[in-house]
Chain A
Amino acid sequence: MNTVVAQLQRQFQDYIVSLYQQGFLDNQFTELRNLQDEGTPDFVSEVVSLFFDDCAKLINNMSRSLEQPENVDFKQVDSGVHQLKGSSSSVGARRVKNVCISFKECCDVHNREGCLRCLQQVDYEYKMLKTKLEDLFKLEQRILQAGGTIPQVDIK
């Protein structure tokens, strides 16, 4: 029983470290994990879920704004990027945040093509992160079900 837990914990540790190393996550995600405690065991997954819902909604809205080449509402797009940048920053979604920085630059100069590329990229990145974090949370559940505790991971 103990070795199963230890194995799962090792797996978890390796996985989460790899997410940081590959740039999917940054320190802010650590802050998020630190806010979670026994009283609020679902905080991270709830916040992350809210974030992904936001992503889907914002991307959808921006896509519509960018649809007609002659009639792009760059103000709307800018607002969407601003929100996305803010929440990705708060969650520690590093890659998503970085795309938003480029996205804002394209938006500022009214570059529709650039915006469309960024939109596609941000869509890809958030979905990728969503899958990764789903796997991470599944690992957490397996650890808990095996009677273990989720390791505190120190990312240097």
Chain B
Amino acid sequence: TESSQFHVLAVDDSLFDRKMIERLLQKSSCQVTTVDSGSKALEFLGLRESDDINDPNAPSTSPQTHQEVEINLIITDYCMPGMTGYDLLKKVKESAAFKSIPVVIMSSENVPARISRCLEEGAEEFFLKPVKLADLTKLKPHMMKTKLKKESEKLAKEENALLIPVIEEDSSVIEILPLSQELESEQHEPMLSSNKRKAMEEVISTDRSRPKYNDITTSV
């Protein structure tokens, strides 16, 4: 299922580099979307450059764009014309909706001041080009963290929804809203630390307990 794969947004102005990073990510079993600029990246995410609600000329962002696009990681080149990778990083971290998305910066130049500036601004990793397959294995924990967070947030929402009975118009039957089955697909990920696995199991067990009541036969 789509939800069990990580979706990475890769940003680089060089076609060559986009092709490289795309293949690297695909080889690491990630779904990839590539864009050639920081502004296109923001567009894809559903962020406008000027998030001015009061501006009548700014086209409103369709809320659908926000929900449909689930990005687990942004990987961006540092040196790009217009908006640099650093600028993009800042914009993402300043956005309430997307600041939890891990951002990784790539650069062909080893400039320590640049690296620390990016890390200070919230970048998870800084990769020197050429990026290797081995570098990308470092990304799994970061992506897993946000995916788990999103899943547990989603589940918490659905749990609350369950507490509200839905009464059908033509019947007095209380309908229990179906639970999301998505969590089951997460179990195959071997990168889960034992703590995370425990947290996941705890969330699952709360939900499982409800339907069980139907099946319990108690013998006295």
Spell out A's residues near B (CB within 8 Å): 28, 31, 34-35, 37, 40, 43, 46-47, 50-51, 54, 82-83, 85-87, 89-90
Contact = CB atoms under 8 A, between A and B. Distances in A.
Given A35-B27, A87-B14, A90-B16, 17 more contacts: A28-B130, A31-B132, A31-B133, A35-B23, A37-B27, A40-B26, A46-B19, A47-B20, A47-B23, A50-B15, A51-B16, A54-B16, A85-B108, A86-B14, A86-B129, A87-B17, A89-B129
B110 to A, nearest CB: 12
Interface in B19-53: 19-20, 23-24, 26-27
Chain A binding site: helix, strand, loop or mixed by DSSP? helix
Contacts of B26: 40
Contacts, number: 41
A85 B128 CA distance: 13
The interface size bin for chain B is 10 to 19
Top 3 A-B residue pairs of the complex, sorted by shortest distance between their CB atoms: A90-B130, A86-B108, A50-B16
A91 B131 CA distance: 11
A89 B133 contact: no
A43 B129 CA distance: 19
Nearest to A87: B16
A22 B133 CA distance: 26
B108 A89 contact: yes
Nearest to A51: B16
A54 B129 CA distance: 17
Of the listed residues A37, A47, A51, A87, the one surrounded by the most CB atoms of chain B closer than 10 A to its CB is A87
A37 B130 CA distance: 20
A57 to B, nearest CB: 11
A87 B16 CA distance: 7
Given A35-B24, A35-B27, A82-B108, A90 B133 contact: no
B17 A86 contact: yes
A51 B14 CA distance: 11
A33 B27 CA distance: 12
B208 to A, nearest CB: 38
Contacts of B23: 35, 40, 43, 47
28 contacts: A28-B130, A31-B130, A34-B133, A35-B23, A35-B24, A35-B27, A37-B27, A40-B26, A43-B23, A46-B19, A47-B16, A47-B19, A47-B20, A47-B23, A50-B16, A50-B19, A51-B16, A54-B16, A82-B108, A86-B108, A86-B129, A87-B17, A89-B108, A89-B130, A90-B16, A90-B17, A90-B20, A90-B130
